[in-house]
């Protein structure tokens, strides 16, 4: 809220005849002086027919607006871009930053006193969090929720973790095309919402609640449940209160809030993509979050949510067990509960009366699924600036492994089958030039590379190294986000077939076992590849994106002196 009054009141200025055009444009849409006297509340609705996670947002937006009207506000709905990883021909990470800019500019340039933002999917939630952190007007996120689980031959299945299993079986020849078709038609894709496991979409929704950016209990409600509409309407009422009390994102997005969110990430076996997203949001909020914070908090926080892909249950079942609020209640001794939240109350107040309803799904702190959070940060001669591995989704026997490298030349399965026909389960597959600048956009190709001859032998995992990402729904012993990436001359660029590599996830080590002088000779001979794009937004991404440990944000968005340095 602007000092001396609401932004919207100054913008319409009912006592001044001169802003007649502003008032007149609102009247042209049927609004009145009575409406214009209320606080202006933006309702950000990135609905799209190219995003099934957002398919129900028209209904949710109407519920939010009902709540705003009821609380004395004036809702004004606006669109932004919308992303679903499946539909784009390039990694949607590059559009996270575009959506953040799109959303931030709408919030800051319009006369909104507060804003409610609807989002569900992998990059949409972080983009909105980045935007509201920068704009710093009173704001609340309404997440879209998870889709319902499917069933196949009596087994609960959910995309996309179970999708990967069936696809591997098909490539191995143990599942038929007819079986995949039956699963597709009757199993995975039966409602709107996020994929029903703790993949990236449900992870970022959980992140939003853990940061305090949603109302309590919002993250895990299934998309098609009536409770999802109820909490959307309640959010509409609440935002008017936040405007009146002038509670802003800067009051919520503090270092303790980010550390709480990291602990929730660890406790739920959440997506490795949150490492990138939380760092980006934190830096927009003025909090210097680093990989070391994830490593420290991960080692201290037990994994207690028995949810796929690292557990046995779906997010729908997690909701029935109490949802993210119940996970946070169990974690309460480890959390800073003094933090402010979008409810207008502290986390401690939010957690009063919350209880765990199913101990099979949310385990006690003293009887966890694992004593740590299942995520490790690696350093070494192959990752001087760090890398990430999700140990909770890896094969335990491969977490300490030494083997010869084989460099992937293509992501096409037929090429993999030909080029890697000689490899054994001891080999380490290197998939490079897939980082922020190289791909560009760090596509989710981390699990790629298993040749059919090994699949037919029953092999479902090898150590794989990449500067790319992987879907939060995926599993396997995959070292991700290696930095610096190959495209900027990181050591990953000079690995050769047959080089010995050492991985020790327990010690946080990733080393290229090649003489240091030889490494230097190779780096001196290395030349950067030509950028994939030289014009348009994609070229801007390549020019301005930071590396994974810095959140893959744009340099000009986080460096106040950027323009001075360029001139």
Q: Which pLDDT does position 1 carry in this prediction? A: 44
**What's the average model confidence in pLDDT over 537-553?**
97
Q: Which pLDDT does position 166 carry in this prediction? A: 84
Taken in order 222, 225, 229, 235, is the CA torsion positive or negative?
negative
At residue 367, the 3 state secondary structure works out as coil
* 315, 307 contact by CB (below 8 A): yes
**Separation CA 142–CA 118 (nearest Å):** 5
Domains in the chain: ranges and CATH: 38-148+192-351 (3.40.50.2300), 150-188 (no CATH), 376-530 (3.50.30.80)
Please, is 5 exposed, middle or buried when counting C-beta atoms within 10 Å of its C-beta (0-12, 13-18, 19+)?
exposed
What are the phi and psi torsion angles at 504 (to 5°)?
Answer: -135, 90
Provide the b/e sequence for 500-511 (b: ≥16 CB within 10 Å). ebbbbbeebbbb
pLDDT per residue as tens digits for the range 451-489: 999 999 999 999 999 999 998 888 899 999 999 999 999
Q: Which residues contact 31 (CB under 8 A, 6 or more apart)?
A: 74
Please determine, for residue 543, whether its predicted confidence score (pLDDT) is greater than 70.
yes
Q: Which pLDDT does position 172 carry in this prediction? A: 86
Q: Which pLDDT does position 355 carry in this prediction? A: 97
* 45, 118 contact by CB (below 8 A): yes
**What's the average model confidence in pLDDT over 105-129?**
96
Provide the b/e sequence for 309-344 (b: ≥16 CB within 10 Å). bbbebbbbbbbebbbbbbbbbbbeebbebebbbbbe
Longest dimension (CA), the chain: 80
Q: Which pLDDT does position 179 carry in this prediction? A: 85
pLDDT per residue as tens digits for the range 384-428: 999 999 998 899 999 999 999 999 999 999 999 999 999 999 999
Token digits of residue 339: 């933090």
**What's the average model confidence in pLDDT over 514-528?**
95
Q: How many CB atoms lie within 10 A of CB 496?
A: 13
Provide the b/e sequence for 398-409 (b: ≥16 CB within 10 Å). bbebebebbbbe
What's the pLDDT band for 202 if we cut at 50, 70, 90?
Answer: very high
Token digits of residue 28: 């042209």
* 206, 324 contact by CB (below 8 A): yes
Please determine, for residue 188, whether its predicted confidence score (pLDDT) is greater than 90.
no
What's the pLDDT band for 366 if we cut at 50, 70, 90?
Answer: very high
Q: Which pLDDT does position 88 carry in this prediction? A: 86
Length of the chain: 567
**Separation CA 288–CA 299 (nearest Å):** 20
Q: Which pLDDT does position 387 carry in this prediction? A: 98
Kind of pairing between the strands at 74-78 and 114-119 = unpaired
CA triple 460-315-465, angle to 5 deg? 35
* 487, 435 contact by CB (below 8 A): yes
* 238, 342 contact by CB (below 8 A): yes
What's the pLDDT band for 5 if we cut at 50, 70, 90?
Answer: low
Rounding to the nearest 10 degrees, give the CA dihedral for residues 483, 485, 488, 491.
80
**Separation CA 8–CA 286 (nearest Å):** 27
Q: Which pLDDT does position 187 carry in this prediction? A: 65
What's the pLDDT band for 196 if we cut at 50, 70, 90?
Answer: confident
pLDDT per residue as tens digits for the range 311-340: 899 999 999 999 999 999 999 999 999 999
Please determine, for residue 280, whether its predicted confidence score (pLDDT) is greater than 90.
yes
**Separation CA 319–CA 224 (nearest Å):** 13
User: By percentage, how much of the chain surpasses pLDDT 70?
Assistant: 96
Strand ranges inside 99-229, DSSP E: 114-119, 139-143, 150-152, 155-157
At residue 501, the 3 state secondary structure works out as strand
Q: Which residue has the tokens 């027919």?
A: 49
- Distance of CA 329 to CAs 82, 304, 320, 481, 551, Å? 33, 12, 15, 31, 29
Number of continuous H segments (helices) and E segments (strands) in the chain: 23, 14
* 156, 165 contact by CB (below 8 A): no
**What's the average model confidence in pLDDT over 546-562?**
89
Q: State the average pLDDT for the chain.
A: 93
pLDDT per residue as tens digits for the range 51-94: 888 999 999 999 999 999 999 999 999 999 999 888 888 999 99
Q: Which pLDDT does position 4 carry in this prediction? A: 41
**What's the average model confidence in pLDDT over 119-142?**
97
Q: How many CB atoms lie within 10 A of CB 412?
A: 11
pLDDT per residue as tens digits for the range 131-172: 999 999 999 999 999 988 887 877 777 766 677 778 878 888
pLDDT per residue as tens digits for the range 509-519: 999 999 999 99
Q: Which pLDDT does position 375 carry in this prediction? A: 93
**Separation CA 381–CA 120 (nearest Å):** 38
Q: Which pLDDT does position 194 carry in this prediction? A: 83
């Amino acid at each position: 809220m602007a000092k001396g009054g609401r932004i919207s009141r100054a913008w319409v200025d009912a006592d001044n005849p001169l802003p007649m055009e502003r008032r007149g444009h609102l009247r042209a849409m049927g609004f009145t002086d009575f409406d214009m006297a209320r606080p202006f509340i933006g309702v950000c609705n990135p609905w799209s027919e190219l995003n099934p996670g957002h398919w129900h947002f028209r209904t949710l937006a109407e519920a939010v607006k009902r709540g705003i009207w009821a609380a004395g506000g004036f809702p004004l709905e606006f669109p932004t871009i919308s992303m679903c990883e499946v539909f784009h021909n390039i990694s949607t990470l590059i559009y996270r930053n575009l959506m953040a800019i799109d959303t931030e500019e709408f919030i800051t340039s319009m006369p909104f006193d507060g804003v409610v933002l609807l989002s569900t999917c992998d990059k949409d939630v972080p983009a909105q969090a980045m935007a509201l952190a920068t704009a710093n007007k009173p704001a609340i996120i309404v997440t879209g929720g998870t889709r319902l689980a499917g069933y196949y031959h009596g087994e609960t299945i959910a995309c996309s973790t179970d999708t990967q299993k069936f696809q591997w079986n098909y490539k191995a020849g143990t599942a038929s095309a007819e079986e995949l078709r039956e699963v597709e038609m009757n199993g995975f894709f039966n409602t709107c919402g996020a994929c029903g496991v703790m993949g990236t979409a449900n992870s970022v929704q959980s992140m939003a609640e853990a940061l305090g950016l949603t109302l309590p209990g919002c993250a895990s409600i299934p998309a098609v449940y009536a409770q999802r509409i109820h909490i959307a309407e309640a959010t509409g009422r609440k935002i008017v209160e936040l405007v009146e009390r002038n509670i802003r994102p800067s009051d919520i997005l503090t270092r303790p809030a980010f550390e709480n969110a990291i602990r929730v990430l660890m406790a739920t076996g959440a997506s490795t993509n949150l490492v990138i997203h939380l760092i980006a949001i934190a830096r927009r909020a003025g909090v210097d979050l680093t990989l070391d914070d994830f490593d420290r908090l991960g080692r201290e926080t037990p994994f207690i949510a028995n949810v796929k892909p690292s557990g046995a249950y779906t997010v729908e079942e997690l909701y029935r067990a109490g949802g993210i609020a119940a996970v946070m209640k169990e974690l309460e001794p480890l959390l800073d509960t003094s933090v402010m939240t979008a409810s207008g109350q502290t986390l401690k107040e939010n957690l009063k009366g919350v209880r765990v309803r199913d101990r099979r799904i949310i385990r006690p702190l003293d009887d966890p699924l694992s004593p740590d959070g299942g995520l490790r940060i690696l350093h070494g001669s192959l990752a001087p600036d760090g890398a990430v591995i999700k140990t909770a989704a890896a094969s335990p026997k491969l977490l300490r492994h030494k083997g010869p490298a084989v460099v992937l030349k293509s992501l096409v399965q037929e090429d993999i089958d030909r080029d890697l026909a000689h490899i054994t389960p001891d080999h380490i597959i290197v998939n490079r030039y897939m980082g922020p600048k190289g791909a560009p956009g760090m596509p989710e190709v981390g699990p790629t590379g298993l040749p059919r001859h090994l699949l037919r032998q029953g092999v479902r995992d090898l150590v794989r190294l990449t500067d790319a990402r992987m879907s939060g729904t995926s599993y396997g012993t995959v070292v991700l986000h290696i930095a610096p990436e190959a495209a900027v001359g990181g050591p990953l660029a000079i690995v050769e077939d047959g080089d010995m590599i050492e991985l020790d996830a327990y010690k946080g080590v990733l080393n290229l076992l090649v003489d240091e002088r030889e490494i230097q000779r190779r780096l001196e001979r290395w030349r950067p590849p030509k950028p994939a794009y030289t014009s348009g937004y994609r070229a801007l991404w390549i020019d301005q994106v930071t590396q994974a440990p810095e959140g893959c944000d744009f340099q000009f968005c986080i460096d106040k002196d950027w323009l001075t340095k360029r001139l």
